[in-house]
Amino acid sequence: MMSSRRWPTPEPLKYHVHNESQTIEVAKKISSELSPGAVLALHGELGAGKSVFARAVMRALGVRDQALPSPTFAIIQEYEGRGCRLAHMDWYRLHGIDELEAIGVREYMQPPWVCLIEWSERAAKLLPPQAIHISLNYVTDDPDARMIEISPDPLS
Ligand SMILES: Nc1ncnc2c1ncn2[C@@H]1O[C@H](COP(=O)(O)OP(=O)(O)OP(=O)(O)O)[C@@H](O)[C@H]1O
Ligand SMILES: [Mg+2]
């Protein structure tokens, strides 16, 4: 695992990880920089590791539940953390932003919440300006390797 710069920085921070445990280590490191009101937009193809990353952040912030089910069918799962509440969202099956307005999505993007969103591309305009973008990308032909990029701006 390697990184080039300290986060947060205006330039994307990049980690080349070789397995799931290293992804979890990166998530823990990022978690130590988060405070209530943080919004993390997780990007990457199916199976890239967005849920792995999100669950690692939740555990690092004090969520004790064992299973941490994927929110795919619920849009959102709520958890109690240490000094914050956590919202884990998955917008993959979203039909329209009305669905998000109906659950009062903006409430989850401010203190006391830390908000983790998979497939935020489905409703990108609902992300607040402080959102941190975390992109997990497959690299080479190693099924367990990923390039993780962390940036204050959406990556193209
Ligand atoms: N370096 C890695 N980082 C994260 N997950 C990895 C890594 N290497 C292998 N994996 C595996 O890849 C899978 C990632 O699944 P995960 O559910 O986190 O993906 P996802 O991006 O949330 O997918 P979806 O778009 O379906 O929600 C897991 O089975 C995990 O064990
Ligand atoms: Mg997922």
pLDDT in tens, 108-131: 999 999 999 999 999 999 999 999
Residue 2 placed within a domain: no
Q: Which residues are near ligand 2, the ion (C-beta closer than 5 Å)? A: 50-51, 118
Residue 156 placed within a domain: no
| Residue owning the nearest CA to atom 14 of ligand 1 | 49
Residue 5 placed within a domain: no
Give the residue ranges of the chain where pLDDT is below 70: 1-10, 66-73, 155-156
Domain holding 100: CATH number? 3.40.50.300
Q: Which ligand is nearest to the CA of 121?
A: 1
Q: Say if ligand 1 is within 6 A of residue 146 CB.
A: yes
Residue 8 placed within a domain: no
Residue 92 placed within a domain: yes
pLDDT score, position 152: 79
Residue 31 placed within a domain: yes
- The residue segments making up the domain with residue 122 are 13-151
Could you tell me which of 94, 116, 115, 119 has the C-alpha nearest to residue 43?
119
pLDDT score, position 67: 66
Residue 44 placed within a domain: yes
Q: Say if ligand 1 is within 6 A of residue 118 CB.
A: yes
Q: Into how many domains does the chain fold?
A: 1
Residue 85 placed within a domain: yes
pLDDT score, position 57: 97
Distance, CA 83 to ligand 2 centroid (Å)? 25
